[in-house]
Amino acid sequence: MKAIVVSGREWVVASSPRYWLTQNLAQEIARSLLTKKAAAFCWDDLVLTPQPMRLNWPRCFVETIGENHLSGRFAVDKSVIQDLYKRGLVAQRDDWAGALRELFKTSPELVIHLPNVFRLPTPLSDWQSRHTEANLPQEILKFDPSVSVIINYRDRVELMESCLMALEHQHLPSRMEIILVNNQSTPENREKVDGLLRKLPAQIARQHLDYPYPFNHSAQSNLGARHANGDILVMVNNDAQAQSPYTLRLLAGYASLPGVATVGPRFVGDNGRLVSSGVEIYPDARLLSGAGFKESEQPYYSRQIHETAGNSFAFAAIPKTVWDRVGGLDETDFINDYNDVDFFMRTLRLGLRHIYVGNATVYHEPGTSRSPDRPSPKLILERFCKKYPDISQFVDRSYRLEALPSVPATPKPFSVYKRLRSLHFTRRIRRAVSERLARLRVKYEH
């Protein structure tokens, strides 16, 4: 353990020799104490290779995890520990882990998250020397589109704070604007979010719009798109956080390629769990259309760059010209669920393609910002399958590796399945892969 003195108070930091801490811990504590009362602070891990990935601290696990896992992630006010010891709530005078657990039980609002402090497995300077703009695909860097980021929200100020902070640190040589669409937030929370917007650097343009009607994600997104001035629209959930300062530049660059409808990143959740590696179309005889859409969670090729059937609008780049050509999102039949999938099908019918960029990572834990005003997903799926009986015609788009920048060309759309078939899987998995490959080959040959 070590102690630091900030704002006249002594803070105990249980550090681990295996990890480094970013050097701005004291400054961030002092900054937070100007506006908030706090008894303890927590921060996240940052994994720096091969792409920077933020491992958000799972606060709900503080009751069950061991003391070693807490080490290096918290700073606790020493006087708070001593007070809890005098009251018999912790066993020892230096029981910082017990003090944390007690604080989470009784006063969780006094444990403040510091979004600019990280625990690192290696010195940050070592990683920065190896990950620079020079390592990005030069074919993509030649594009310099302006970017409009559109974020829908209702209350949840803490989510907006983390989301905007990640966007603030994006490296974009061209103009960027952030458009927030508020849907019936309380006046107090809207004012707080507006304050976060005002804190952004002056070079970032900003708009704060209101949608004062019942929740309609499609209508809110269309409203933001109508006010957008950028060449590339980037749809972002308020709980999504870009993990690299080059995320927007990569996605906007690939979205500038001809014939591209959407570009999306690799999504990870708590503890770095793979959430999505693109959207795939899968055969399903139970559905009216004979096939359906789902987010892929396969780790194979999840760090590659390849064509996919679509990209989740939790964080996706779309050329403004394509958005206007397709007509935006359907505000009537698909107000939330399947609104992005409906967009995918309309663009696939136009012969456009979707690109998945596996070396751009975004943190997004599904369901964190989901609205309670949602109709039955089952009914929406039935409506979607009736509208698009030709889904199965595009099943090969889910697995096609195209000749994209930084990816070797592959002659046929079966390369992924041939690769999977060569691996040592169980008999059941090999049979399923072989059957799907056979269906693809029949379609391809006809």
Name the more confident of 106 and 134. 106
Once rounded to an integer, what is the mean pLDDT over residues 254-259? 92
Run of H or E residues at 282: strand 279-283
Separation of alpha carbons 265 and 237, rounded Å? 13
Tell me the three state secondary structure of residue 303. coil
Its pTM surpasses 0.75 = no
Between 401 and 271, the more confident residue is: 271
On the question of pLDDT at 240 being above 60, the answer is yes
What pLDDT sits at residue 317?
96
pLDDT tier, 343 (very low <50, low <70, confident <90, very high otherwise): very high
> What is each CA distance from 344 to 94, 148, 267, 334, in whole angstroms?
57, 20, 18, 13
Distance of alpha carbon 41 from alpha carbon 58, whole angstroms: 14
DSSP 61: G
Split at pLDDT 50, 70, 90, the class of 96 is confident
pLDDT score of 51 more than 60: no
Strand partners, 236: 151, 315
Confidence of residue 182 (pLDDT cuts 50, 70, 90): very high
Mean pLDDT of the chain: 78
Q: Coil, strand, or helix at residue 77?
A: strand
Q: Per-residue confidence at 13, pLDDT binned at 50, 70, 90?
A: confident
Better pLDDT: 145 or 377: 145
Average pLDDT value for residue range 133-159: 84
Tens digits of residue pLDDT in 296-340: 777 767 878 888 888 999 999 999 999 999 999 998 888 888 888
Distance, in Å, from the CA atom of 289 to the CA atom of 389, rounded to the nearest integer, reads 4
Quick one: pLDDT band at residue 236, thresholds 50, 70, 90? very high
Superfamily of domain 132-399: Spore Coat Polysaccharide Biosynthesis Protein SpsA; Chain A (3.90.550.10)
Q: Is the pLDDT of residue 256 over 90?
A: yes
Residue closest to 118 by CA, chosen among 22, 12, 242 = 22
On the question of pLDDT at 66 being above 70, the answer is no
CA distances from 274 to 191, 292, 302, 366 (A): 35, 21, 9, 11
pLDDT digits over 374-421, tens only?
Answer: 555 667 777 777 777 777 777 655 545 454 555 443 333 334 444 444
* Residues 124-139 pLDDT 10s: 655 555 555 556 777 7
Alpha carbon of 183 to those of 229, 240, 312, 410, 434: distances in Å?
A: 21, 18, 21, 45, 47
Which of 259, 348, 268, 366 has its CA nearest to residue 309?
348
3-state helix, strand, coil in the chain (%, to 5): 35, 25, 40
Give the Cα separation of 67 and 80 in Å (integer): 18
pLDDT of 261 over the 90 cut: yes
Alpha-carbon gap, residue 3 to 44, rounded angstroms: 19
Residue 153 has pLDDT above 80, yes or no: yes
Kindly state the DSSP code that residue 392 receives in the 8-state scheme. G
- For residue 162, the model assigns a pLDDT of 80
322 vs 17 pLDDT, higher one: 322
Element housing 266 (H / E) = strand 260-268
Q: Is the pLDDT of residue 443 over 60?
A: no
pLDDT above 70 covers a percentage of the chain that reads: 71
For the cut 70, the answer to whether the pLDDT of residue 28 exceeds it is yes
Contacts of 408 (CB under 8 A, 6+ apart): none
Contacts of 166 (CB under 8 A, 6+ apart): 241, 242, 243
Report phi then psi at 79, rounded to 5: -65, -30
Percent of the chain residues topping a pLDDT of 90:
26
> Can you give the pLDDT at residue 187?
93
User: What pLDDT shows up at residue 413?
Assistant: 38
User: Please, are residues 174 and 147 in contact by the beta-carbon 8 Å criterion?
Assistant: yes
Question: Taking the domains of the chain in order of start, what are their residue ranges?
Answer: 2-128, 132-399, 415-445
